[in-house]
Amino acid sequence: MAITDQTIDLLSPASFAAGQPHETYAWLRDNAPVYRHAEPDGGPGFWAVTRYADVKAIGRDPETFSSEPTVMIADDTAVEIGDHKMMLMADPPYHTRLRRIINHEFTPKSAARLSARIESLCSAIVDEVVERGECDFMTDVAGELPSYVIAELMGIPLDDGRRLYGLTEIIHAAPESVAPGAGMGAVIEMFNYAHDVAAEKRKRPAADLATKIVHAEVDGQRLDDIDFNLFFLLLVDAGGDTTRNLLGGGLVALFEHPAERARLQAGLGTLLPTAAEEMLRWVSPVIEMRRRATRPVELHGVAVAEGDKVVMYYGAANRDPRAFAAADQLDVGRHPNEHVAFGGGGPHFCLGAHIARVEIHAMLREVLTRLSDIEPAGPVEWLPSTFISGPKHLPVRFTPGARTK
């Protein structure tokens, strides 16, 4: 289909029904890199930014491009309660103070400390399917890992992690694809759960992230229940379906590129790190993040007014031929690969990036060695979301193998 101004609809889940709309992205990058996109229901509209250099520059300039009141396109998604703000939706210096509380738990060293535990979770997850010879890769494998990892980090039971993960899926779904009020209901359920966790960690402190947040102080003041709830929601939310979709979307990419898959499986020992980065570039599980212009600026000759919404399309930036050689080709050995799947390197750069990489490496290694002939067993169904991209269901089959324990 020829792309024209009339065919572009980045707010419709239908545009993402077969993965990200790469033809539309290419048209936008070439013809309207700062594109005025309408918003339904009387919203003011937004500027869609699709070139790599622009996405990077905007993400790194919080003074001009603010994350407040929200990083979602619709204004009613702002998560501000009184003068409390969620870290993801706050600007420096408030943001810096919040990030400092948990920064330490997310360094490469902290992530490396989790790796043995994450590897054993991966092998337990694959144990559950390996004898069956078939499964839904998304629900049975890819979705299990991040929910367990976040439960482990927060110090809550693994099964609760799974339940909370189900809530994040509802929160990220396009509103028209779930029952009316379901999104808000899921947030409330998450807050109620977080409230109980905070009470428990105050009573019985443990060596986990939840205990750390509950006892943290900002400017000499202890964080209160609302701050805790906002942290809890962000952490459960941010690390869940992003990692899951990377794993599922990455596997689909390997199915669609058999030569690259064979190359990776033959050289897993050396190619795993570059292959994981290439999957991040290719899949870009976070489709976009929004900012608000704090002053009038000009971008590619377009006048952006103070208060305008400016939306960075990471998936489009990651296929920009101005930044990547052979951008439309999957190359599991690509190097360098300065993708923006975790953000463009500004103050909100994905805090969980190191942990996500440990998860991705461990699960890819497990799947590509123990389910080595894994192949599609039916059509992929993609998530009905304009914010998070990845398969919802991915039926697969493989030669049954043996459990490790």
User: Which CB, 282 or 324, lies closer to ligand HEM?
Assistant: 282
Q: How far is the CB of 180 from ligand HEM (least distance, A)?
A: 28
Strands of 24-179, DSSP E: 34-37, 46-49, 65-66, 80-81, 84-85, 134-136
Q: How far is the CB of 214 from ligand HEM (least distance, A)?
A: 17
Q: Which two tokens stand for residue 19?
A: 């993965």
| Length of the chain (residues) | 405
User: Which CB, 106 or 193, lies closer to ligand HEM?
Assistant: 106
How many whole angstroms separate alpha carbon 390 and alpha carbon 250?
9
The CA distances from residue 170 to 129, 145, 174, 179, in Å, are 25, 18, 8, 9
Q: How far is the CB of 169 from ligand HEM (least distance, A)?
A: 15
> Where on the chain is the footprint of ligand HEM (CB under 6 A)?
59, 87-88, 99, 150, 234-235, 238-239, 242-243, 246, 285-286, 289, 314, 341-344, 346, 348-352, 355-356
Q: How far is the CB of 39 from ligand HEM (least distance, A)?
A: 21
User: Which CB, 21 or 59, lies closer to ligand HEM?
Assistant: 59
Q: How far is the CB of 346 from ligand HEM (least distance, A)?
A: 5
Question: CB–CB of 319/22 below 8 Å?
Answer: yes
Say if residue 149 is exposed, middle or buried (CB neighbours under 10 Å; 0-12, 13-18, 19+). Answer: buried
Q: How far is the CB of 238 from ligand HEM (least distance, A)?
A: 3
User: Which CB, 213 or 371, lies closer to ligand HEM?
Assistant: 213
Q: How far is the CB of 133 from ligand HEM (least distance, A)?
A: 28
Backbone angles phi, psi at 381, to 5 degrees: -110, 125
The CA distances from residue 152 to 165, 196, 199, 209, 334, in Å, are 13, 17, 18, 9, 33
DSSP-assigned states of every residue in 307-338: T-EEEEEHHHHTT-TTTSTTTTS--TT--S--
User: Which CB, 170 or 246, lies closer to ligand HEM?
Assistant: 246
Backbone angles phi, psi at 144, to 5 degrees: -70, -40
User: Which CB, 235 or 380, lies closer to ligand HEM?
Assistant: 235
Q: Which residue is nearest to ligand HEM (CB)?
A: 352
Closest CA to 271 of 292, 248, 254, 288: 254
User: Which CB, 8 or 360, lies closer to ligand HEM?
Assistant: 360
